[in-house]
Structure 1
Amino acid sequence: MEIKLEQLTGADSEALFEFEMKNRSFFEERIPSRGDEYYQRDVFERNHQILLKEHSAGDSVFYLIKNGEGSILGRLNLANIDQTNQSGYLGYRVGQSFVGHGIASRAVKILLQSADDINIQQIEAKTTTNNKASQKVLEKNGFKQIEVMDEEIILNGEHVKFVYYIWRKWNKHNQKNSSGFFD
């Protein structure tokens, strides 16, 4: 299946809301809930406008993962962009009907290939200890696990911890440090 990343626009609000509603219970089985309020149409629209402002300001980059027909398969974002350190924080989610087809892995790969275009040298990400699929996506794309938090949260009755990852763009000026990462 062909996929593409398209930057989030105001026109995406309705389709994205439908995507989020359709996949809500699926997402909440894997990640902490965004809360009931998030799924109220007026609140969702306000949040959508906030994301667009963040994007315009260069603080974040928000994408929709779409197929060749333009249907939303998932979303991917690079938030908390720090232009000084050329870093950001990765987040993604793929709809239930599209899991297991390598969509998240390919979307992350596309983002990493555009790191120069968005002036990014380092990306952080996190997932939970029980989300093996997300861990696989990150590791397949060159992210290195850097920490598993001691603190546990309860997600759907299961005790889980957060697992933190980092990706650093290599270039000829970078040198490996003692932990095997590039400085």
Structure 2
Amino acid sequence: MADLQLLRLDHAPALLAFEQENRAYFSASIPDRGDDYFTHFDARHSDLLAEQAAGLHFFHVLVGSGGEVLGRVNLIDVEGGSAELGYRIAEKAARQGLATTAVRQICALAAAKYGLTTLRASTTLDNAGSRAVLDRTGFEPTGEVLLGGRAGLSYARNLSEVREGAAP
């Protein structure tokens, strides 16, 4: 079982290992972060923590029992009661329900702790796993998008029912 934790400075080594170990796996379904991300990881991590402290974003990691990062679940561009949801799960932890559980948890956190009313998300059309997670967790398709030059769908989720305890 993984524990959903708000991103901290001490997560950096495990988070970098997670990103490096899964780079090829992730880039098969989402745009690659690029070499610069890895070269300047420590500075980027510090910047993300500063943005989180300012309330602009809420970054979370899924931490396994051995302290390893098994996934990320982020709320970015927090403004006006809404945010963009992004998530990625390690290849070794994929297809075990971890993403669905984590998205349900982040929906509850978004409503109860962060006071959000709507979450948005998007994924490429060829990422059937991510589309299934969004469908299972109450997100509705809202339109077509391009993600890194690839066809995709945008989604939205009203969090009012989460506040009432009826999250899917």
TM-score by shorter chain over 0.5: yes
Secondary structure at the residue paired with 1:47?
helix
Q: Deviations over 1:34-58 (max 9, x none)?
A: 1111122xx0111101110111000
Amino acid in structure 2 at the alignment position of 1:104: A
Q: Structure 1 residue runs of 4+, over 3 Å off?
A: 151-154
Give how far 1:132 is off.
0.7
Aligned 8 A contact 2:31 2:148 in 1:
no
Secondary structure at the residue paired with 1:58?
coil
Aligned 8 A contact 1:3 1:67 in 2:
yes
Partner of 1:157: none
Partner of 1:49: 46
Partner of 1:35: 34
Secondary structure at the residue paired with 1:5?
strand
Partner of 1:146: 142
Please list every run of 5 or more consecutive structure 1 residues that lacks an aligned counterpart in the other structure: 155-159, 172-183
What are the equivalent positions in structure 2 for 1:148-167 lying under 5 Å apart? 148-149=144-145, 154=149, 160-167=150-157
Q: Deviations over 1:126-174 (max 9, x none)?
A: 000000100010110000001013x5855xxxxx302100001225xxx
Determine which of 64, 69, 73 is the counterpart of 1:67.
64
Q: Distance in 2 between matches of 1:152 and 1:22?
A: 23
What are the equivalent positions in structure 2 for 1:100-179 lying under 5 Å apart? 100-114=95-109, 115-149=111-145, 154=149, 160-170=150-160
Q: Distance in 2 between matches of 1:109 and 1:9?
A: 21
CA RMSD of aligned residues (A): 1.4
Aligned 8 A contact 1:143 1:167 in 2:
yes
* Number of aligned positions between the proteins: 160
Q: Distance in 2 between matches of 1:49 and 1:120?
A: 25
**Structure 2 residue 89 is matched with structure 1 residue 94:** yes
Amino acid in structure 2 at the alignment position of 1:93: R
Give the structure-1-normalised TM-score.
0.83
Partner of 1:6: 5
Q: Compare the two structures and name the one with the higher helix fraction.
A: 2
Secondary structure at the residue paired with 1:109?
helix
How many percent of aligned residue pairs carry the same amino acid? 31
Amino acid in structure 2 at the alignment position of 1:78: L
Aligned 8 A contact 1:4 1:107 in 2:
no
Q: Distance in 2 between matches of 1:152 and 1:142?
A: 22
Question: Residue 164 and residue 56 in structure 1: after superposition, are their counterparts in 2 closer, same or farther (change >3 A)?
Answer: same
